[in-house]
Amino acid sequence: MKKVITICLLYFHTCLYAQPTSIILENGSYFNGKVFVPFKQMVINGGKIVGISSAATQLSGNRINLKGKFIIPGLVDGHVHIGGSPAYPYVGAEQTDNLKSSLHCGVTTVIDLFSTENKVISTKTIAARQPAVYSIPIMAGPILTSPKGHGTEFGIPTRTLTTLTEARNITNQVIDNGADVIKLVYDAYSDKFYLSKDIMQEIVTAAHVRHKKVFAHINTAKEAMDCIDAGVDVLAHMPVNTLTDAQIEKIKRSGIFIIPTVTVYNVIMNGYSKEYISNPLLWKTANPDYLRGVKKEAKYVDTATKIWGVEYYGSLDVENNLKRCIAAGIPILAGTDAGFFDVYYGYSLHNELEQYVAAGMTNAAAINSASTMLANIFPDVETGRIKVGYDADLVVLNTDPLIDITNTKDIDLIIHKGKLVMDTALFDTVVRSLAFDESLLENGYLCNTGAANVGTYSDSVIGGNSKSAYNVEKDVDGNTYLHLTGKVLPAGYIMFAGLWVSLSKDASTESVVDIRAYSSISFEVKGNGKDYYFRMLSANVKDYNYHSATFKASNTWATVTIPFSKLEQSQFYGSRIPLDLSTITSLSFEANVEMDLDFSIKNIRMNK
């Protein structure tokens, strides 16, 4: 007779109906875009700020006393390359590792303006499902450039185009493949290989039809003016040559946004300072592979100046242009070009803000450039502001950044999508698993006597339209089962919704469990006749290409058995590795095509 472990649903009804525990922040001050406002309680539930009160309440929840602390919105880096490398020579790393570094520096959102196209969907999905671990990326995927143009030299696949038809078709293909924004290269006056102005205009038109913003890499003032004429939404760099008064006036009238990336220009021309490279926040949060060989002292690199500086750009006037743009009231979105040499994920944004203040921006405006400015570009986002109804993306500081902008690095606590970001080691590459805890068994059943070990998820956390929910119901014999309902709806290319089940005693989807003693999973299911995916989530899989198998939810109860040896990864994206049953974090049951979500499940068990 087969030995089985059944994941019991009998006790789920009490814990499944309970709402997630609220986080209640007390006695701090929050930044309202101008000043810090004292409060008695800020209540966070369901990933949102649900209340800010000047009076204490008797609400129950996880109370955190922030007396003497200062809360700013989660920060935004408007220009990163999460597939890049701050190290020289180049050191490769998982894109999600760079999102991890960003989050632990208080950067809860990044705009990725060039990365591998086939990793766009998996990267966004991984980040969306673990907000306590990763920043949320807004992604462009590949850059659109000319054959042999800027971007083709890095070895990352780009999209090159030479005709108006290609411009239109490729723009739509990139959007279909999951891009949130379009990034193009326009360097008609600074490179011998470049897109024509007509092609740039066609890209912008096609993107705007699909309601996508267009970011343009430029070098010179004349290129910036052409981008304005074409309707580009954001300039991804400050022009490097001197802007005339007339050009600054044209920029202001157009309403275009500028991402200055002053940090990368300073590194190109001057290397880094001792203060920049020795700060504890950098050494705490950066991938240690990037810091090997780095000395905590000033670095001046004549080679970088020669190759990337004077000969490439001519006479740089970035800082003067920044001062004049700030004085003119031109909208600035903070961004660093993180992923370029010596420009670090998350950390370098703080240095960028310091340079804005040095150029004449107020401390409050500098914070806004890395927070509230995002909503001016993307009106539908619900981050970047501390306001009821907005995402609970918060950075708690020990000292007041309105007195000294360098205090943005003095981080006490980070909350992302309502989840506490734990102050732990970021890059322990050894996967440590716990043996399956036999004490969880009660009369042959696996029952969670603490918090619920099931939950739902969907693409809504990254702005998608899908929804899922469950009820605990009983069959005709009085046996308990879970009924999952919802809709999977397209929002661009990516869509998903489903149910997760934890196998750990702490009911976590991140704790690693060793289930090598078992060979298959069985469960009873009924539903709407559609095909669904069973997925085995492993800590070894970094790109969401989890080992999976399909099953059908027919309209009557039926038993499904899936041998672990039959689980396979997708052939179309991500890397493929063997399934290691000693590294399992959770199970999931999911739909990822447009459909009504409707199935019931009970008697989940692993078979030896």
Q: Quick one: the chain helix, strand, coil %, rounded to 5?
A: 25, 30, 45
Q: Does one domain contain both 573 and 460? A: yes
Q: What is the pLDDT of residue 574?
A: 55
| Rounded Cα gap, residues 577 and 57, in angstroms | 51
The list of the chain residues with pLDDT below 50 reads 1-19, 302-314, 429-430, 440-451, 492
Residues 9 and 140 in one domain: no
- For residue 146, is it within any domain? yes
Q: Which two tokens stand for residue 197?
A: 């102005």
Whether 58 is covered by a domain: the verdict is no
How many separate domains does the chain show?
2
Any domain includes 43: no
Helix 197-209 vs helix 164-176: angle between axes, to the nearest 10 degrees?
A: 40
213 and 338 share one domain = yes
Q: Please state, in angstroms and rounded to a whole number, the distance separating the CA atoms of residues 416 and 394.
A: 6
| Same domain assignment for residues 321 and 465 | no
In a domain, 400, yes or no: yes
In this structure, the answer to whether residues 319 and 241 fall within a common structural domain is yes
Among 420, 438, 473, give the residue marking a domain's end.
420
Please calculate the CA angle 412-418-424 and round it to the nearest 5 degrees.
Answer: 45
Task: Quick: pLDDT tens for 375-404.
Answer: 999 999 999 999 999 999 999 999 999 999
Structural domain span for residue 201: 73-420
Same domain as 521, residue 551: yes
Same domain, 435 and 525: yes
Q: Is the separation of the CB atoms in 113 and 79 below 8 Å?
A: yes
Per the omega criterion (within 30 degrees of 0), is the bond before 137 cis? no
Residue 509 lies in a domain: yes
Take residue 342 and report the two structure tokens written for it. 């010596």
Listed residues 362, 387, 420: the one ending a domain: 420
On whether both 530 and 479 belong to a single domain, the answer is yes
Closest alpha carbon to 551 in 573, 572, 567, 571: 567
CATH classification of the domain holding 453: 2.60.120.430
For 514, other C-beta atoms within 10 Å of its C-beta total 17
Q: Is 65 within a domain?
A: no
b/e sequence 342-353, b meaning 16+ C-beta within 10 Å: bbbbbbbbbbbb
Q: Please indicate, yes or no, whether residues 395 and 446 belong to a single structural domain of this protein.
A: no
Q: Which amino acid is at 516?
A: R
Residue 412 belongs to a domain with what CATH number? 3.20.20.140
End-to-end CA distance of the chain: 10
Work out the angle between the directed axes of helices 197-209 and 221-230 (0-180°, nearest 10).
40
Of 356, 388, 420, which residue sits at a domain end? 420
368 and 436, same structural domain? no
CA distance linking residue 580 with residue 437, whole number of Å: 18
What whole-number distance in Å separates Cα of residue 42 and Cα of residue 430? 38
Bridge partners (DSSP) of residue 497 are: 458, 591
| Helix or strand holding residue 228 (H, E) | helix 221-230
Shared domain for 116 and 263, answered yes or no, is: yes
Asked if residue 538 and residue 601 are part of one domain, the reply reads yes
pTM, two decimal places:
0.69
Q: What is the pLDDT of residue 4?
A: 37
330 is a domain residue? yes
User: Is residue 66 included in any domain, yes or no?
Assistant: no
